[in-house]
Amino acid sequence: MSVVETKTAGKARSLPLLRAIFRRPSGALAASWLILVVLGAIFAPLLTPYAYDIQSLKEAFQPPSASHLLGTDEFGRDLLTRMLYGARTSLSVSSISILISVAAGLTLGAAAGYFGGLFDRAVTTVADLTWSFPEILIALILVAIIGPGIAGTMAAIAVAYLAQFARLARAQIMTLKGETFIEAARSLGAGHSHILFRHLIPNALAPVLVSAMLATGDAIILEATLGFFGLGAQPPTPSWGAMMSSGSALLFKAPWIIIFPGLAVAITVVAINLFGDALIAALDIRDRVRKDA
Partner 1 sequence: MSDPLLTVKGLTKRFTTGGGWFAAPRSMTAVRSVDLTIERGEVVGVVGESGCGKSTLARLIMRLIEPTEGEVLLDGTELTKLDRKALRAMRRRMAMVFQDPYSSLDPRFTIAEAIGEPFRIQSRPVTAADVAAMLEAVSLPASMAERYPHQLSGGQRQRVGIARALALRPDFLVLDEPTASLDVSIQAQIVELLVSLRDRFGLTYLFISHDLGLVRYFCDRIVVMYLGAVVEVLPDARAKARHPYTQALMDSSFAPDPALRRAIAPLTGEIPSPFHLPSGCAFAARCSRAQETCRHDVPVLQEEGGHAVACFNPL
Residue 72 forms beta bridges with which residues? Answer: 78
Q: Which is nearer to partner 1, 117 or 191 (CB)?
A: 191
Query: Any idea what DSSP says for residue 4?
Result: -
Please give the Cα distance from 76 to 73 (Å, whole number).
5
CA dihedral for 62, 89, 34, 101, sign (positive or negative): negative
Q: Which residues contact 121 (CB under 8 A, 6 or more apart)?
A: none
Task: Based on the shown chain and the rule CB under 8 A, indicate whether residue 5 belongs to the binding site for partner 1.
Answer: yes
What does the per-residue mask of binding to partner 1 show for 35-74, with x meaning CB under 8 A? ----------------------------------------
> Residue 189 interacts with partner 1 (CB under 8 A)?
yes
Query: How many CB atoms lie under 10 A from the CB of residue 256?
Result: 19
118 binds partner 1 (CB under 8 A): no
Which 156-185 positions form the footprint of partner 1 (CB under 8 A)? Answer: 179-181, 183-185
Q: Does 267 bind partner 1 (CB under 8 A)?
A: no
- What is the distance between the alpha carbons of residues 199 and 284, in angstroms, rounded to a whole number? 20
Pick the stretch among 3-11, 22-30, 33-41, 74-82 that binds partner 1 (CB under 8 A): 3-11
The rounded Cα 240 to chain-centroid distance in angstroms is 15
Q: Of 51, 75, 194, 283, which one interacts with partner 1 (CB under 8 A)?
A: 194
- Candidate residues 19, 23, 121, 186; the one interacting with partner 1 per rule CB under 8 A: 186
Let me know if 290 is exposed, middle or buried by CB neighbors in 10 A (0-12, 13-18, 19+): exposed
CB closer to partner 1, 49 vs 189: 189
Residues that bind partner 1 (CB under 8 A): 1, 3-7, 179-181, 183-191, 194, 199, 202-203, 290-291, 293
